[in-house]
Amino acid sequence: MNEQSADGPRRIAPVPDETSEPFWRGGADGELRIQRCNDCGYFLHPPGRRCPECGGRAFTFSAVAGTGQVYSFAVNHQQWHPAYPTPYVIASVELPEQAGLRIVTNLVDCELDAVHIGLAVRVVFERLGEWHIPLFTPEVAAP
């Protein structure tokens, strides 16, 4: 059952600051961009101002593959906001670029019964004004 679609509910816009803004803009170029430490290469998400690995304070937003696996998820049935019809899937998606690198997101275009830990997913973007919201959808298995 697909409760969300490209012309579906309008999302609440993010309020990026100077630290997180590149993350919300990457989708304009079809890229999932994650903050990466210039000194040691550590990926940091959510974006921050100090590298937890080396203490570095200089970062670049690097495009990652946009693939991942569902690390954990919940199906929400409580309608907290009129813009978000239920049910919908909240997921923590682990990216392959670094152990423990995870993004909290929604799964879209996905049968609720098909969601499981380890499900292979890929990023899709939902444009919202000048921002692009990274969402994930199941990888389509090769025939």
Q: What is the DSSP letter of 54?
A: T
Which of residues 21 and 39 has its CB atom nearest to Zn ion in the complex? 39
Query: Between residues 9 and 42, which has the closer beta carbon with respect to Zn ion?
Result: 42
To Zn ion, the closest distance from the beta carbon of 38 in angstroms equals: 8
The least CB distance from residue 98 to Zn ion, in Å, is 12
Which residues face 106 on adjacent strands?
A: 90
Side-chain half-sphere CA neighbours of 41 within 13 A: 3
The DSSP string of 115-137 is: --TT-EEEEEEEEETTEEEEEEE
Closer residue to Zn ion (CB): 59 or 73: 59
Least gap, CB of 90 to Zn ion (angstroms): 29
Return the number of other C-beta atoms located less than 10 Å from residue 90's C-beta.
Answer: 13
Q: Contact positions toward Zn ion, by CB under 5 A?
A: 37, 39-40, 42, 51, 53-54, 56
Closest approach of Zn ion to the CB of residue 42, in Å: 5
